[in-house]
Chains A and B, each alone.
Chain A
């Protein structure tokens, strides 16, 4: 079955530093990838949608200059949290759409736990 990986699985950083999270589709071409954020015991909130080769579309209230998304290839999207602060601590989850599948099913990665000290 289709597999989406994320790296790293967890990261701890100091306030003010930037953190990059990678999302890869391992055995399919992901024309579209989505980034979600999940706070403890809460639901997944869509942050942005990225299409390969174009700029990401951000949801209302998500700062595009703080959460930089790059989708440079059909198998890789990155989310960079710039100048991270403790309130950015969360579980970040990506998902990828199989661009060649008729059903266009969306597959989720295992998530990245970010802790900002």
Chain B
């Protein structure tokens, strides 16, 4: 089955800096790669996703890149703000709407 590795487990940055979180996956049949932000005591919130026919996608301060050959994808947050502090999860699945396999999460702390 699919296995998703996520690094780093914790990340501390200064406000205004960029943050990068990386994930690798094992199943070449995976074609959908979403990123979720989870705040304490709440459910995950989709922040951006990418499909295997696209190499990069950007939404304001957030971008995701995908290297399907190497089986890794990354989340980039620029101009970080304290409200970006949360746990971020990457996930993979064969297609959107199917069961997701999550990485172990990255706790991002943005200090002002």
Residue positions of A touching B, CB distance < 8 A = 4, 6, 32, 34, 42-46, 49, 93, 95, 97-98, 103-111, 113
Contacts and interface: CB of A to CB of B under 8 A. Distances in A.
Given A43-B89, A105-B97, A108-B36, A93 B103 contact: no
B97 A97 contact: yes
Given A44-B89, A95-B100, 14 more contacts: A34-B99, A34-B100, A43-B89, A43-B104, A49-B99, A93-B43, A97-B97, A98-B97, A104-B95, A104-B96, A104-B97, A105-B97, A108-B36, A108-B44
Contacts of B49: 105
A109 B43 contact: yes
B43 A111 contact: yes
Interface string B8-43: 000000000000000000000000001010000111
Contact of A44 (B42, B95, B97, B102): B102
**Chain A CB within 10 Å — which of B89, B97, B100 has the most?**
B97
B92 to A, nearest CB: 12
Contacts of B45: 108
Chain A interface secondary structure, helix, strand, loop or mixed? strand
Chain B interface residue number, banded: 20 to 34
Given A34-B99, A43-B103, A97-B97, A108 B89 contact: no
B86 interface: no
B46 A113 contact: no
Contact of A46 (B41, B95, B99, B105): B99
Contacts of B95: 104
B96 A106 contact: yes
Nearest to B45: A108
Given A42-B104, A43-B103, A106 B97 contact: yes
Given A34-B99, A103-B96, A43 B44 contact: no
B101 interface: yes
Given A43-B105, A108-B45, A111-B43, A32 B97 contact: yes
